[in-house]
Amino acid sequence: MRIDPNKCVACGNCTYVCPMGAIYIDPVIERATVNRDECVECYSCYNGLSQEHLNPTMVRTVRKIFKMMRVRFDPEPDVCPTAAFEPEELVWPRVVRRAFSDPRVPHESTGVEGRGTEEVKTNDISGRVQVGEVGFTIEFGRPGVGVWFRDIQKMCWALAEAGVSFEKKNPVTSLMSDVATGTIREDILNEKLMSAIVEIKVPVERTEEIVRLVWRVEKEVDTVVAIGVGTRCDENGEDHVVAPILEKLGYKLERAKTNIGLGRITNRSVEQPYAEVVRK
Ligand code: SF4
Ligand code: SF4
């Protein structure tokens, strides 16, 4: 994202909209400026502010006159009065920033939509997490924090060394140059994202080991890391297998997403067992 200094009147409205704090008023040129390193190309500034097309010279003059009278003249807070934003044509590798930071765009660069997959939400149909297995989502970054691909790679290396399998349809996996070692394409390592999710699956017995691995690597990366755990409930809708492991590790469990079976398989014959269709 770029701001045209010829149009910007330094009202400051956009500095409050940027979730990464990447826009600042440059005191030398007295214009809003985008810090390109920190900008994750989320387009919140461009899409979040109404673009008015007032004449910049006129707005600056009016602001100066009012200032001399010790009166502030500011545009409405949700407006860029002079339509100063100029989205750049994003090319590789910078385009991956947008893929992981702007939920409104298709993800051509990764070939996968969204930051992660549907994970447990579609487990009825995908059958990705079976009885005896645990699905992990390891989420990096947040608005205001972000994450560099080089830090995601540190976690992927450690997970690969532990012999886990990465979810094939996940966007981060699609950007690995070597899935076996968890190595991410070298040309995107210095790209920053709002957030990203790595997805893996392991047998239940490895739950504690993986949580402890994430805790260890988390200390070595310059971002926040959140762990999500997906598991199957028993016939009573309860989980007495994975929950005790997590509670032992100090977690207070809350159910986040519960799949109640709305994603039913519609193309199975009455005689065909449900589990058989899932396996196929
Ligand atoms: S909202 Fe527009 S005019 Fe105001 S500081 Fe930002 S870019 Fe400049
Ligand atoms: S595109 Fe997003 S991160 Fe970049 S300056 Fe605009 S709001 Fe900030």
Say if residues 64 and 218 touch (Cβ distance below 8 Å): no
Sign of the CA dihedral running 201, 202, 204, 208: negative
Reported as a single tens digit per residue, the pLDDT across 245-268 is: 999 999 998 777 666 666 655 555
Establish whether residue 45 lines the binding site of ligand 2, counting it when its CB lies within 6 angstroms of any ligand atom.
Answer: yes
Average of pLDDT values for 38-48?
96
Reported as a single tens digit per residue, the pLDDT across 184-240 is: 999 999 999 999 999 999 999 999 999 999 999 999 999 999 999 988 888 888 889
Report how many helices (DSSP H) and strands (DSSP E) the chain contains, helices first: 10, 14
- Ligand 2 pocket: which of 4, 25, 41 to mutate (most atoms within 8 A of CB): 41
Task: Categorize the per-residue pLDDT at 176 as very low, low, confident or very high, splitting at 50, 70 and 90.
Answer: very high
Is residue 280's pLDDT more than 50? no
Atom of ligand 2 nearest to the CA of 21: 8
Cβ-based neighbours of 81, under 8 Å, separated by 6 or more = 9, 11, 52, 54, 59, 75
Q: What percent of the chain has pLDDT over 70?
A: 85
Among 250, 204, 225, CA closest to 155: 225
Strongest mean pLDDT among 28-42, 70-84, 230-244, 265-279: 28-42
* Tokens at 97, concatenated: 């920033």
Ligand 2 center from residue 47 Cα (angstroms): 10
Reported as a single tens digit per residue, the pLDDT across 83-108 is: 999 999 999 999 999 989 987 776 66
Atom of ligand 2 nearest to the CA of 101: 2
Reported as a single tens digit per residue, the pLDDT across 121-175 is: 677 777 788 889 999 999 999 999 999 999 999 999 999 999 998 988 888 998 9
